[in-house]
Chain A
Amino acid sequence: MEATVTTATEGKVWGGGNRPLGASYGKMMIWYFILSDALTFSGFLAAYGLTRFKFIDSWPIADEVFNHFPFLHGVDAPMYYVALMTFILIFSSVTMVLAVDAGHQMKRSKVAWYMFFTVIGGLIFLGSQAWEWKNFIQGSYGAVETKGGQILQFVDADTGKRLALSDFATPNTEAKQSVNVNGITAEVDQAEHIYAVNDIVEGFNANQNVLIRTEKLNEHGHKTLLTREQSAEKLKSAVHVVEGANLIRNEYGNKQFADFFFFITGFHGFHVFTGVVLNIIIFFNVILGTYEKRKSYEMVEKVGLYWHFVDLVWVFVFTFFYLV
């Protein structure tokens, strides 16, 4: 390890002009901010890990939850979309580092163009995340919750595919519950689209091909599928119809699953948003020639460090939320 203070300047160590650890003040401080932020994210992900281990035999399967792709309705596309989002973010990291590189060579218009592409990449990522949230909140199949707080989902006995509530049940009683895609307003405006537990039970009795699967994972890592008799028995304990997700309950399974999803991807998305705002500021400063006058593009480098960090966090979120 190199010495922190150079002996050659011993006489004026406290006189200023020293660069401890060979880094400028701003760069060192952004690095230590990143260090503390990295620990914050580690805390979130470790808490997610704890909850996951706590419910190791019933956690929702990510491939089944995140299987949407734009313009491919009803097609099972596990992970393709998140993989695309990962690429978008990595690519915007590349344009960022190219901007920093062009800055070292004082090439103003090149820096501006690369910053522009970085901002566009960030905006596309934010839009993708909003779309991902929309799908997650809206849900695609619907489920019921038992009085023990477990989620029961429906499966077609003939095809083995998941059944949406609308595939076998019709809403006809006036349901008074707010756990729905459209939230509170649905109670008023679209009361005819809201299912009551009774509607589900009637639909289940009328369609012999409907089976229930529970949260429990079997030895192959699949959700446990009940027989018709077990399903009928289990359905007796249903107390809620759950469509989509909110912070209280979700149709995918464990309640904390949605909480962690909203919290971790939301906190990361907020970082991306902040990064985009900073990048826009830098972009205009480059255009106005602020750094040209300063004869240094170090500010691009510092904001770049933050932007790369956002990408770095996403790499971990991608692994622990979608892959593992």
Chain B
Amino acid sequence: MAHAHASNVKRIWTVFFILSVVTIVEVILGIIRPEWSMTMVVGMKILNWIFIILTLVKAYYIAWAFMHLEGEKGSFRWSIVLPLIILIPYLIALLLTEGHYIHEVMREGFISWDF
């Protein structure tokens, strides 16, 4: 918390501007879906990687500026962020690998799912 009680209005509008620009870029990319972004990189289209990175950028600005994590003590900040950055990638890695495996089984199996 800002103890000086200084106004952060300028910072707030800057962040709003950044979030808006990022969202507009996402929507434009989502509509035109450029051909170059359809190449697969590490199991996913470049476009999807761009979307995910831009989403994390937005999440960073919301958490750091709007939720004012940047003003909290480092230890408090880590106690919130660390569990998330450990558990979420772990969960995603397990479930997506499993989903991919189920897909392969359904495709290669002896049973047809489309009849």
Contacts and interface: CB of A to CB of B under 8 A. Distances in A.
Interface of A: 1-4, 21-23, 28, 31-32, 34-35, 38-39, 42-43, 46-47, 49-57, 63, 78-80, 83, 86-87, 90-91, 93-94, 96-98, 100-101, 104-105, 146-150, 214, 216, 221, 237, 301, 305, 308-309, 311-312, 315-316, 318-319, 322-324
Query: What's the dominant secondary structure at chain B's contact region?
Result: helix
B23 to A, nearest CB: 6
B41 interface: no
B48 A148 contact: no
Contacts of A93: 62, 66
Contacts of B87: 39, 42
B31 A79 contact: yes
A49 B51 contact: no
B80 interface: yes
Contacts of A237: 115
Interface residues of B, number: 58
A87 B19 CA distance: 9
A35 B83 contact: yes
Contact of B91 (A34, A42, A96, A101): A42
A214 B113 CA distance: 13
Going nearest first, the 6 A-B pairs with the smallest beta carbon separation are: A53-B99, A21-B76, A50-B99, A22-B73, A148-B115, A50-B95
29 contacts: A21-B76, A23-B76, A28-B76, A39-B83, A43-B91, A49-B92, A49-B95, A50-B96, A53-B100, A53-B102, A54-B99, A57-B107, A79-B30, A83-B24, A86-B23, A96-B66, A101-B9, A104-B7, A105-B7, A146-B114, A147-B115, A148-B114, A216-B114, A237-B115, A308-B62, A308-B67, A312-B62, A319-B54, A323-B30
B59 A316 contact: yes
A35 B107 CA distance: 38
B30 A305 contact: no
Interface in B23-63: 23-24, 26-27, 30-31, 38, 48, 51-52, 54-55, 58-59, 62-63
Contacts of A42: 84, 87-88, 91-92
Given A21-B73, A43-B91, A97-B66, A35 B84 contact: yes
Contacts of A56: 99-100, 103
A316 B53 CA distance: 11
A287 B1 CA distance: 24
Contacts of A53: 96, 99-100, 102-103
Q: Considering residues A146, A237, A305, A323, which has the most beta carbons from chain B within 10 angstroms of its beta carbon?
A: A323
Interface in B76-115: 76, 78-80, 83-84, 87-88, 91-92, 95-96, 98-100, 102-103, 106-107, 112-115
A49 B96 contact: yes
B115 A21 contact: no
A57 B24 CA distance: 28
A90 B16 contact: yes
Most buried by B among A3, A38, A43, A214: A38
B108 to A, nearest CB: 13
A1 B75 CA distance: 5
